[in-house]
Amino acid sequence: MTVHPLYATNDQQPAYALRYSWTGWVTRGDVLATTGDAWTNLKCAWESDGLRLLDHLVRNNEVHLTFSTIPSVSPTFIAARAKGRLKYAQRIAGAPVTFSRKVSIRSVGDNTADAVEGYIRAQVRNEGFIDSHFSEFLEQFTVMSPRVDLRRPTETNSGRYWYNLHLVLVTDGRHRLVDDAGLTTIRDSSFRIAAKKEYAIRAIAVMPDHVHIALRGNLEHSPEQIALAFQNNLAHMLKRGAVWQHSYYVGTFGVYDMRAIRMAGSKKCSAETR
């Protein structure tokens, strides 16, 4: 029997803060020859792809680009469009360049990995429940996975990727799940979903009316796909119908935050190893 998804792209009203830095290495040619008009055209082209160029920095043989994106954009798509459109613009301008096959993509945000993990770890304590016994009961549904290190990149033949997401799902109507069976299902099933989809959960906090997850995503999957995977599969496993709101929050984070990106424009670029 075919199971139809309860949640789909066209019924979502997501909140998101998704930003990535892309680094490519020029092996032949000069990107410094790119004119202001060319960068303007590139911005428009990337915008049509769902990538908004926030900043660019060219230094020696390195090109650093910082994008904000929409939820349907995956890291592999960013890698392809960033390099592809830049090479095309250079060729049209009569100054073709060749890039190293390998690139670096980092998810970045206003918070670091340490801050996000600490926030999730403290969810029960920060709620300030009056009933101390209920607080103690809820603590078992906050899990930190010591084997998952979000500071380490995913290595592929095309480069190094840091793809860290903070996902939040909220129950429909803020309905509270307080039974052991329901909360256990969400906690344990989240890890099973992650294993099947090739995600890695670093931290999860299951609360009565929402759930926080910090994870490393599958590079081929967009934040939107990841959110829908948890919404649909958890709803199916809970057997309670459309238990989640038709929305989610998803944000990127990394080893360092956006302040470090902004500082790079006026100071020496952070070293990146190919």
In the chain, the amino acid numbered 59 is R
- Give the length of the chain: 274
pLDDT per residue rounded down to tens, the chain (274 residues): 566 899 999 999 999 999 999 999 999 988 766 667 888 999 999 999 999 999 999 888 899 999 999 999 999 999 999 999 999 988 888 888 899 989 999 999 999 999 999 999 999 999 999 999 999 999 999 999 999 999 999 999 999 999 999 999 999 999 999 999 999 999 999 999 999 999 999 999 999 999 999 999 999 999 999 999 999 999 999 999 999 999 999 999 999 877 776 665 544 434 443 3
Pairing of strands 19-28, 142-144: unpaired
pLDDT digits (tens, 9 = 90+) for 99-134: 998 999 999 999 999 999 999 999 999 999 999 999
Domains observed in the chain: 16-109+256-264 (3.30.70.1290), 110-253 (3.30.70.1290)
Which candidate, 166, 165, 157, places its Cα nearest to that of 79? 157
Predicted local confidence at residue 264, as pLDDT = 57
Give residue 39's pLDDT: 87
Residue 198 falls in which region: left (phi positive, over 0), alpha (psi -120 to 50) or beta: left
Distances in Å between the Cα of 251 and the Cα atoms of 16, 136, 161, 165, 174 are 5, 29, 16, 6, 21
